[in-house]
Chains A and B, each alone.
Chain A
Amino acid sequence: MERKKILLVDDSSTVLLMERMILSKSQYEVVEARDGQEGVEKALAEKPDLILMDVVMPRLNGFEAVRRLREEEATRSIPVIMVTTRGELESVESGYASGCSEYVTKPIDGLELLTKVRSCLGQ
């Protein structure tokens, strides 16, 4: 079976490391970006099956990065899971309004993350 490719976008090396460990053990191929701008560029170049996007990042925040991805034909339909420290309704609504498919809150729970990743990938 072909391995699904997931793009991780976060400015925290701790979060990237945890996400990589959680997803790699489930046989996903992982690529990383350290901010929203790099995330958009990597998404266009790598054509991932799914993107995990942090919200607060330098250069380009997660909401704006998702809006740009939705404007591009090549990345418009890629599902995006927002990974945020903000669990408030307002933040969640902003995420959905920008075009994200799902969200998880930090601290990351491995089982919750895997469940939502599998759901977004239709597995």
Chain B
Amino acid sequence: MTDKPSPPDVVATIARHGSDMQRVNDKLRDLISTLRTSKDRLAGSLGTTMPEIHLPASMAPMAPPAANEPALELENRRLTAELAMAREQLSRAAAEREELRKHLDELEVEHRHVCDQFVEAEAQASEMVQAHATLQQIHGADGLEALLQALQEVVINVVGSEELAIFQVEGGELRLARAFGVDAGPLQRIPLGQGVIGRAAERGTIYVAGREGPPEDDLLTACVPLKAGGKVVGLIAIYRLLGHKPGLGPSDQALFELLTTHAGQALALRRKAGPAA
């Protein structure tokens, strides 16, 4: 391993070489000056013109070197090297940052996906709770009056309407069994096939206002026929929804289908068992 000269040694060496070169040049200039003088003297004595002696460009008188020029040169080189290293580090950091940004974007997408899944799962859980509560209330009702009360509660608290009527099919017509929030007078008896309610009962299909063409009755939101053994045994008419409920959604449709089957069977069973059941 060789010892590298330290920066002050290098500076001193270069300065020394510079001084030596300067001394040599000075002597050469003196010599040339002497030769010029001798030439002029000879030309005078001979009466002829002697060719001019030109100094080479490298021998032209030089300005004395600045004492700190080598040190500045070294500092310049050091700073240039540091700058190159810094640029390389910056480039590496930028590449790393780009990688991290990509990774962050991927994580954000994944996070959003998980959040969406969570919300969807909670919505499904909420629908399950509604369905479970509805079934438990319907099948746990002790007698016809309790069943009608349970259906009323389901419409108010699960569907979200405080205006409803519940009918039973008797003698080819719908007879009002319970009304809440609406005038019961005109609803006491509705022949099958008459009006929106009568037609929904006759067809045995769920009616939702505005789903197939313009609403047939401005006050009605939905009619849910209640079936047992393929026959319509009753119907729930739902009028205006609660003010803060914007409209019926897919979960309401699922609930109506559940009511059609389960509430229909429960109604038929309670009626079969008699008024006291």
From B9-17, B41-49, B132-140, B209-217, the one touching the partner chain is B132-140
Q: Say whether A14 contacts B126, CB under 8 Å.
A: no
What is the minimal beta-carbon distance from A11 to any residue of chain B, in angstroms?
10
Q: Say whether B157 contacts A106, CB under 8 Å.
A: yes
- A98–B173 Cα distance when bound, in Å, is 48
- A22–B132 Cα distance when bound, in Å, is 11
Residue A18, interface by CB 8 Å: yes
Tell me which of B126, B159, B162 has the highest count of chain A C-beta atoms within 10 A of its own C-beta. Answer: B126
Main secondary structure of the interface of B (DSSP, over half): helix
Chain A: residues with Cβ within 8 Å of the partner, total of 21
Q: Given A21-B129, A87-B242, A87-B243, does the pair A13, B153 have CB atoms closer than 8 Å?
A: yes
Which residues of B are found within 8 Å of A22, using beta-carbon distances? 125-126, 129
Q: Say whether A107 contacts B133, CB under 8 Å.
A: no
Number of A-B contacts (CB under 8 A): 68
Q: Say whether A12 contacts B153, CB under 8 Å.
A: yes
Q: Say whether B132 contacts A21, CB under 8 Å.
A: yes
Q: Say whether A107 contacts B153, CB under 8 Å.
A: no
Residue A85, interface by CB 8 Å: yes
B 145-160 binary contact with A (CB < 8 Å = 1; else 0): 0000010011011111
A 81-94 binary contact with B (CB < 8 Å = 1; else 0): 00001111000000
Q: Say whether B159 contacts A107, CB under 8 Å.
A: yes
Interface residues of A in 93-115 (CB under 8 A from B): 105-111, 114
Q: Given A21-B129, A21-B133, does the pair A111, B153 have CB atoms closer than 8 Å?
A: no
Q: Say whether A18 contacts B243, CB under 8 Å.
A: no
Closest to A12 in B: B153
B 103-132 binary contact with A (CB < 8 Å = 1; else 0): 000000000000000010011011001101
Residue A17, interface by CB 8 Å: yes
Q: Say whether A111 contacts B119, CB under 8 Å.
A: yes
What is the minimal beta-carbon distance from A120 to any residue of chain B, in angstroms?
18
Which residues of B are found within 8 Å of A3, using beta-carbon distances? none
B 12-32 binary contact with A (CB < 8 Å = 1; else 0): 000000000000000000000
- A111–B121 Cα distance when bound, in Å, is 10
Residue in A14, A25, A86 whose beta carbon sits within 8 Å of that of B158 in the complex: A14
Residue A15, interface by CB 8 Å: yes
Q: Say whether B125 contacts A25, CB under 8 Å.
A: yes
Residue B244, interface by CB 8 Å: yes
Which residues of B are found within 8 Å of A18, using beta-carbon distances? 129-130, 133, 157-158
Residue B54, interface by CB 8 Å: no
Q: Say whether A107 contacts B243, CB under 8 Å.
A: no
What is the minimal beta-carbon distance from A32 to any residue of chain B, in angstroms?
14
A-B contact pairs, 16 of them (CB 8 A): A13-B137, A14-B133, A14-B157, A17-B133, A21-B129, A25-B125, A85-B157, A85-B162, A85-B242, A87-B242, A87-B244, A106-B156, A107-B157, A107-B158, A111-B123, A114-B122
Binding site for B on A (CB under 8 A): 12-15, 17-18, 21-22, 25, 85-88, 105-111, 114
Binding site for A on B (CB under 8 A): 119, 122-123, 125-126, 129-130, 132-134, 136-137, 150, 153-154, 156-160, 162, 242-245
Taking A18-B157, A114-B122 as known contacts, 13 extra A-B pairs with beta carbons closer than 8 A to each other, sorted by chain A number, are A12-B157, A13-B137, A18-B130, A85-B156, A85-B162, A85-B242, A88-B243, A88-B244, A105-B242, A105-B244, A107-B242, A109-B126, A110-B123
